[in-house]
Amino acid sequence: MARFDTLLIANRGEIACRVIRSARAMGLRTVAVHSDADTQARHVREADLSVRLGAGPARDSYLDPAKLIAACRASGAQAVHPGYGFLSENAAFARALRDAGLVFVGPPPEAIDALGNKSAAKQLAARLEVPCLPGYQGAAQDDDTLVAQARRVGAPLMIKAAAGGGGRGMRAVDDLSDETALRAAIASARAEAASSFGDGTLLVERRVLRARHVEVQVFGDTHGGYVHLGERDCSTQRRNQKVLEEAPAPGVTEALRARMGEAAIRLAREVGYVGAGTVEFLLEPDGAFWFLEMNTRLQVEHPVTEAVTGLDLVEWQLRVARGEPLPLAQDAVRIEGHAIEARLCAEDPYAGFAPQVGPIAAWRMPSGDGLRVDHGLGETAGVSPHYDSMIAKVIARGGDREAARARLLAALAGTSVMGLRTNRDWLRRCLAADAFAAPALSTAWLGEALGGWDAPAPEARWLAVAAVLRVHRAARVHGPLACWSSSGRRTAPMRLEVAGRVHALRVESGAGQPHAVTLADGTVLEIALERDDGLHAAVVVDGVGHPVMATLERGIGWLDAFGMADGFADVTDRPPARGGTEAGGTIVCRMHGQLSRVAVALGQQVARGTYLLSIEAMKMEHRFESPVSGTVVELGATPGTQLAPGRLLVRIEPDPT
């Protein structure tokens, strides 16, 4: 038995808080580690002890094995839980811990070597007769070999990073006739893989267009025991990144679950796997399934499995790491009800999902029966440019899938993050989409649906409430923003900028009377402000009461109301732009990151959709395409430049129309 009473969590954010919760319930002392960017983070406050690792960038802190081992020595920790991401699937780290006499809460390094690399795992799966898609997983990695192998496999295909996961280092190729485009996809996948995982090795795999992404949760112990805990459907993806996950997978029968579970356990048993692992499959409509990869760690989406099995997977990990047998045999595992998880991220869905970085002014998370929220937010919260943009995971459980879906929709409506754009409202659109509700799932459904999803414009009552709050809160601090009208009411003309558009309106106020807000099109709304504590307010719009949440400072604020959360600014004193907005050929950076590639030159003619440049941010490559046809007349930065929001990237003079 590997005895330990002090556990170091080699991670941050919500997963560090999640591990602390289970470890404390088991009576373990917990040690948090942190970078300089996370000194005030929630996981640091919640742990019994904390140790500083280094500067903000992960390579200087969370990705430094020597510093983590030194933190164990300094704190007296005898075991390390890696969470997910960072070093969780790093065999060298697991081996270094073992050599140092420390317990790694995860599989042996030999199992990570055998299964953590996609190419090696596919070769093993094929030997064990676990179904695998046609592809190439060879050692030769030169471009000519990969191009030749891609032609052998045939389109459509996927180029993938052999190491790591999370959708990084993956490029879909639908047409092999354009060799230049194929080589560009290989180069792009290799660069992102090397940046994300320190390994640019690629594999080529046949792509199944209408399949679902279904994964099986497996567990092994040091006594030769193995079980699976059912499956999760992760088909709702954007650019190969999971958005919504659910358990059990819709339409999976007991017989199919048993076959997939047996195949997953066969892989785990072959390598002497210990702890939690996830075997991922593509599932076709006829029930055929194909091995994709194995994640040799706890998954982000593990809460949906916990919700339908009633089990604590982190507790299982810790017990297995101590040398205990698995708590349950296979025939004792029960799956009841349905659970769906949404990943709330700091990103702008209507600007290429650009990561959002900076302080969070205020936040609110939902609570109630059948709900669980995993987050790492503290009183002082923000999103760092050094790490992933996920803010929280919101999980809803119900007696059936529709009950879980409805509960999650309501939970997201009660979730607010002020000061940064998030994907909250976009997640609600995903949940409400016909394809998801039906369900008619495949890994392609969301990408196909996105083509018709434009950024929602603020409705009249949203603008009216923003204007009234601006008048009311400014009056409390500076006195009225208005002048007296002939009717004896104060009138405040106002121009509010929301998502780059300016809206003209007028607010009339009178003592003890509702505010009358007139919009540019002549629409008049009556807004009664019944309560306002500076963050939460209650408004009555045309006789109907609504709770809203808003922050406001010096004319710049955020409003969450009527199903829309966005920022607004009072630009009344700013002169209107001459000739309206620019013609759409100016591309400005919306994220912190590094300009990794520029694919066009000054004076070059480009068509709409031409690839222009790439930015590396939050361990991902973000590609930008031309929104218009025209001529490149300005380049704002060179490759290698560190970028901040607002930096000009490219200006294209549109062709005459």
Question: For residue 158, how far is the Cα from the chain centroid?
Answer: 22
Determine the pLDDT at residue 586. Answer: 80
Q: What is the pLDDT of residues 110-144, one digit of tens each?
A: 999 999 788 889 899 999 999 998 889 888 999 99
Out of 160, 179, 206, a domain closes at 206
**Whole-angstrom distance, CA of residue 323 vs CA of residue 221:** 7
The answer on 615 and 516 residing in a single domain is no
Determine the pLDDT at residue 643. Answer: 82
The answer on 594 and 542 residing in a single domain is no
How many Cα atoms sit within 13 Å of 208 on the Cβ side?
20
CATH of the domain at 604: 2.40.50.100
Residue 379 lies in a domain: no
Residue 472 lies in a domain: yes
> What's the CA dihedral at 345, 347, 348, 350 to 10 degrees?
-70
Q: Which helix (H) or strand (E) holds 125?
A: helix 118-127
Does residue 550 or residue 643 have the better pLDDT? 550
**Whole-angstrom distance, CA of residue 575 vs CA of residue 488:** 29
Question: For residue 148, how far is the Cα from the chain centroid?
Answer: 34
Residue 251 lies in a domain: no
Determine the pLDDT at residue 487. Answer: 53
Q: What is the DSSP letter of 261?
A: H
Residue 22 lies in a domain: yes
185 burial level (CB within 10 Å; 0-12, 13-18, 19+):
buried
Contacts of 287 (CB under 8 A, 6+ apart): 256
Given the structure tokens 């009358």, which residue do they identify?
516
Query: What's the average model confidence in pLDDT over 309-317?
Result: 98
The answer on 466 and 563 residing in a single domain is yes
Which domain does 46 fall in, by range?
6-105
Residues constituting the chain: 657
Residue 297 lies in a domain: no
Quick check: 595 pLDDT over 60?
yes
Quick check: 578 pLDDT over 50?
no
pTM of the model: 0.86
Sheet holding 212-220, edge to edge: 289-295, 275-283, 212-220, 226-238, 241-247, 338-345, 390-398, 371-375
Instruction: For the chain, give the longest Cα–Cα distance.
Output: 87
Q: What is the SS3 assignment for 213?
A: strand
The answer on 142 and 97 residing in a single domain is no
- CB count, 10 Å around CB of 400? 9
The answer on 80 and 13 residing in a single domain is yes
**Whole-angstrom distance, CA of residue 80 vs CA of residue 99:** 13
391 within 8 A of 344, measured Cβ to Cβ: yes
**Whole-angstrom distance, CA of residue 444 vs CA of residue 172:** 12
Determine the pLDDT at residue 484. Answer: 45
Residue 306 lies in a domain: no
233 within 8 A of 249, measured Cβ to Cβ: yes
Joined tokens for residue 374? 């995993």
Out of 173, 206, 239, a domain closes at 206
Q: What is the pLDDT of residues 410-456, one digit of tens each?
A: 999 999 999 999 999 999 999 999 999 999 999 999 999 988 888 88
Joined tokens for residue 213? 């992404």
Query: What's the average model confidence in pLDDT over 594-616?
Result: 90
What's the domain count of the chain?
A: 4
Residue 505 lies in a domain: yes
The answer on 592 and 632 residing in a single domain is yes
Residue 607 lies in a domain: yes
Question: For residue 229, how far is the Cα from the chain centroid?
Answer: 24
Determine the pLDDT at residue 576. Answer: 61
DSSP codes joined into one string, 392-439:
EEEEEEESSHHHHHHHHHHHHHT-EEESS--SHHHHHHHHHSHHHHTT
